[in-house]
């Protein structure tokens, strides 16, 4: 089934980021058995940041990355490139779950974003990174009230934000779809795939050994000192292993219900003129979102396009994963229709790219870490769509845990306490679909129904 929107007729089914920045030559497949001081399984942001932090900490350490396909081929190369300072998938989620630690979590998140900016500058990574700020728009009166309270809370807890009332919304947008907004200063944008390529270069320059097309099929922990990770054509022996596979099938059974794979989608316009951007009141470079449960995220690209994504968050029965699921014509049509409805001034604009990506969604919406095999294996996953920056923090925590260090990070309740697991099928699928329906109803009415209140009480959630 093809997308039916006329604006999507010529759209290519791949991320614009990968189309604009072709992949470097692949690293070789692992062949034979090698040894390492630290093995990292997974070559997305989590794995790349972990490797860089490990080499900066100990330049002599033998660090190896095993990647099942190519570096950044999944979420790290397909996302919208929004660089949030939040480690908790937004302040409200953090306040609800860890109110006593929220000021520390906000500070650590802001420090993490600043350190990413410093690392990009230090290694001269060309990833179009900019601290642009972000504006969240409300479409309804209840969303506007929510943004007003959110701006006040963010400012109180150390991440200043400004509420934009309806009387001033015209200074930020000419779209009649919006009735209020919130401007957050501490937010960035990046080209996500160029960031992957840049981090890859830094890893290689620091001496990290990278093997692509080297899926790990087994972890052997019978030896009390070395963990053996086996692939189809080789193995790595290492005393410490960091698992950075995120949304993909976990190598530890205990993680099988910690996250679910959710598919998120985006489309990108043809390049627009300055006059077209002026017609919708978007003359600055800040990123945009809207404030509903089923929200959109949208931003400018370096060559003057609009990336428009989000809204649908699709879970497939039994946690199905597959490249074919990254194309969903009905969602592309929906996104195009919503774009034109929001910006009727751009009714004649066409889209050049359409794609989807996989999100590792957890019941608490954010990072989960822990250890296994007597502390020799660490893992970080569950970033739920805000992993561009939080993955670096997750890598730092894994290194702390593997070293047995007690730090401000490892003492956090967010790190020490495990999330509520998702239930097994078919309850999981039914629960996800009920939750999606209930969240859509809340967007329509402003009221959180009995089902959502029950999920809140149980510590379960669903988000993209």
Domain ranges of the chain: 16-82+193-258+365-416, 129-191+261-361, 427-458
pTM: 0.95
Please give the Cα distance from 67 to 40 (Å, whole number).
Answer: 9
Tell me, what's the pLDDT at 1? 56
CA distance 260 to 244: 15
CA gap 143, 356 in Å, rounded: 27
| Domain 129-191+261-361 grouped into CATH 3.30.9.10 | yes
Residues of the chain with pLDDT under 50: none
- Whole-number pLDDT of residue 155: 97
Superfamily in which the 16-82+193-258+365-416 domain is placed by CATH: FAD/NAD(P)-binding domain (3.50.50.60)
> How many other CB atoms are there within 10 angstroms of residue 12's CB atom?
13
Using CA atoms of 249, 254, 260, 266 in order, give the dihedral in degrees to the nearest 10: -50
Query: For residue range 128-181, what is the model confidence (pLDDT) as tens digits?
Result: 999 999 999 999 999 999 999 999 999 999 999 999 999 999 999 999 999 999
Q: What is the pLDDT of residue 3?
A: 64
Q: How far is CA 104 from CA 87, 89, 107, 158, 328, in A?
A: 11, 15, 5, 9, 40
């Amino acid at each position: 089934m093809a997308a039916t929107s006329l604006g999507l007729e010529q759209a290519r089914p791949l991320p614009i980021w990968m189309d604009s920045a072709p992949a470097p030559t692949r690293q070789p497949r692992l062949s034979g058995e090698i040894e390492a001081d630290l093995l990292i399984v997974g070559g997305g942001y989590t794995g790349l940041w972990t490797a860089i932090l490990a080499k900066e900490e100990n330049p002599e350490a033998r660090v190896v990355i095993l990647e099942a396909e190519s570096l950044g081929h999944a979420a790290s190369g397909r996302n919208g490139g929004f660089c949030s300072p939040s480690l908790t998938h937004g302040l409200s989620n953090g306040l609800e779950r860890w109110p006593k630690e929220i000021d520390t979590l906000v500070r650590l998140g802001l420090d993490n974003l600043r350190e990413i900016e410093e690392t990009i500058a230090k290694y001269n990574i060309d990833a179009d990174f900019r601290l642009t700020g972000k504006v969240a728009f409300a479409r309804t009166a209840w969303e506007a009230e929510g943004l007003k309270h959110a701006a006040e809370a963010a400012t109180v807890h150390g991440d200043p934000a400004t509420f934009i009332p309806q009387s001033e919304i015209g200074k930020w947008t000419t779209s009649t779809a919006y009735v209020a907004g919130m401007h957050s200063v501490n937010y960035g944008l990046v080209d996500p795939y160029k960031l992957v390529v840049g981090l890859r270069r830094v890893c290689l320059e620091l001496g990290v050994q990278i093997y692509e097309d080297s899926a790990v099929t087994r972890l052997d922990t019978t030896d009390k000192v070395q963990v053996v990770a086996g692939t189809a054509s080789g193995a790595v022996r290492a005393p410490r292993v960091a698992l950075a596979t995120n949304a993909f099938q976990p190598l530890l059974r205990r993680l099988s219900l910690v996250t679910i794979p959710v598919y998120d989608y985006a489309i990108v316009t043809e390049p627009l003129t300055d006059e077209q951007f002026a017609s919708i009141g978007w003359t600055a470079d800040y990123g945009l979102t809207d404030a509903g449960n089923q929200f959109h995220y949208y931003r400018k690209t370096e060559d003057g396009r609009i990336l428009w994504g989000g809204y649908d968050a699709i879970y497939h029965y039994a946690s199905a994963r597959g490249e074919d699921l990254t194309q969903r014509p009905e969602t592309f049509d929906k996104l195009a229709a919503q774009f034109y409805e929001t910006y009727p001034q751009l009714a004649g604009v066409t889209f050049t790219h359409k794609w989807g990506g996989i999100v590792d969604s957890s019941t608490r919406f954010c990072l989960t870490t822990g250890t296994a095999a007597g502390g020799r294996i660490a893992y970080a996953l569950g970033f739920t769509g805000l992993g561009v920056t939080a993955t670096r923090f997750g890598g730092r925590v894994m290194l702390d845990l593997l070293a047995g260090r007690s730090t401000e990070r490892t003492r956090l309740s967010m790190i020490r306490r495990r999330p509520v697991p998702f239930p097994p099928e078919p309850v999981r699928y039914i629960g996800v679909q009920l939750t999606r329906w209930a969240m859509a109803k809340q967007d329509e009415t402003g009221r959180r129904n009995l089902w959502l209140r029950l999920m809140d009480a149980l510590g379960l959630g669903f988000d993209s």
